[in-house]
A = this chain, B = another copy of it.
Amino acid sequence: MKGCPFGSHRVIEPKGSLPQAAQRIDNTPRISDNEILIDVQTLNVDSASFTQIKGVCGDSEEAVAAMITDIVRSRGKLQNPVTGSGGMLIGRVAEIGSLLKGRGLETGDRIATLVSLSLTPLMIERIEKIHMDKDQVDIRGKAILFESGIYARLPEDMPDRLALAILDVAGAPAQVDRLVKPGMNVAIIGAGGKSGLLCCYQAKKKVGAGGRVIAVEYSPENADRLSRMGLADHTIVADATRPLEVYGKVKEVTGEALCDVVINNVNVQVTEMSSILITRDGGIVYFFSMATSFARAALGAEGVGKDITMIVGNGYTRGHASLALNILRESAVIRELFERLYV
């Protein structure tokens, strides 16, 4: 039997929707001819979702385990009911539907799914361990990948947890690679975080000697770490929720030219206006942050008469997984830091 390539055949309610918008999907671990069955090893819970869960559970590992089990039991997928977000997983291919055979994937291969857990059928048999500080959960269980679902083979030259952490945000540096050209002024807001550091690296590589990478970071410690890593030409310490402060400090660096491309990687709300103000007329803002408000961005740019292109951070860009993993191979300082933080 062949299912819908987007997985609509597993939607229980509401009918007519796709798995991501669905309230509840069928997580039966029996695949149709165009699905892939995965033995799950570790879940990487989306940062916004895990923060919300920990908030409710008061840092108790048992309560977190119970809440995750509960979500998956009632929805058939790990989609946080409050944030709507999911995360991703790593595991081993258990079975490949007949229609997807011979496409380069074999049973036993170790992969990371690159589609959100918010739409991935998941069945948890047992929770093995919760890594409270890494947003990761080791489990025994099964997941299903639809025909349209994307995945990456896990690399042999780095720990799984490291690959998992990187792959979660792989879309961001890949978009930087696409949008940034030699000689540009590029600002990265939330530059000291996981996706921010990868974006700084890729932007530095693309702008070349004639361009400039301006890192905007909230905490003085992380800004200092960033400077020492040599990943930006200028590091600005500022609160991205205060647009005039950010605007003033960026103008000290760029003058009236402002930035050609701005990448927003923060994890807090109301930072749209900072991004907009520091972008030059005709420039581009790439909102990778899931805390972005569509209306605030749309009305905000109009409100200051800025003719700029604002892009929604699509988590998928062709080649994003290998591009992001390659950064770890190229940059010893980033690898060293990320091993410390995420492994």
A binding-site residues for B, Cβ under 8 Å: 4, 6, 8, 16-21, 83-86, 114-116, 118-119, 148-150, 171, 242-245, 270, 273, 277, 287, 290, 292-318
Contacts and interface: CB of A to CB of B under 8 A. Distances in A.
A191 B6 CA distance: 26
A20 B297 contact: no
A299 B16 contact: no
Contact of A19 (B16, B294, B296, B303): B303
Given A86-B299, A302-B171, A244 B314 contact: no
Nearest to A317: B307
A299 B315 contact: yes
B315 A312 contact: no
B294 A292 contact: yes
A251 to B, nearest CB: 12
A225 to B, nearest CB: 26
Given A273-B18, A299-B20, A310-B314, A304 B6 contact: yes
A148 B17 contact: no
B287 A16 contact: no
Contacts of A296: 20-21, 84
Contacts of A243: 17-18
Given A115-B304, A150-B302, 4 more contacts: A17-B243, A17-B273, A19-B303, A119-B299
A301 to B, nearest CB: 5
Contacts of A316: 301-302, 305-307
Contacts of A19: 303
Nearest to A306: B316
Contact of A244 (B8, B311, B317, B318): B8
Contact of A315 (B115, B245, B301): B301
Nearest to A309: B311
A314 B304 contact: no
Contacts of A294: 287, 290, 292-294, 297, 312
Nearest to A302: B315
28 contacts: A6-B304, A16-B242, A17-B270, A18-B244, A20-B273, A20-B296, A85-B295, A115-B302, A115-B303, A116-B299, A116-B303, A118-B299, A118-B303, A119-B299, A119-B303, A148-B303, A149-B303, A150-B302, A150-B305, A294-B297, A298-B312, A301-B315, A302-B315, A306-B316, A307-B314, A307-B317, A309-B314, A310-B312
A164 B97 CA distance: 57
Nearest to A171: B302
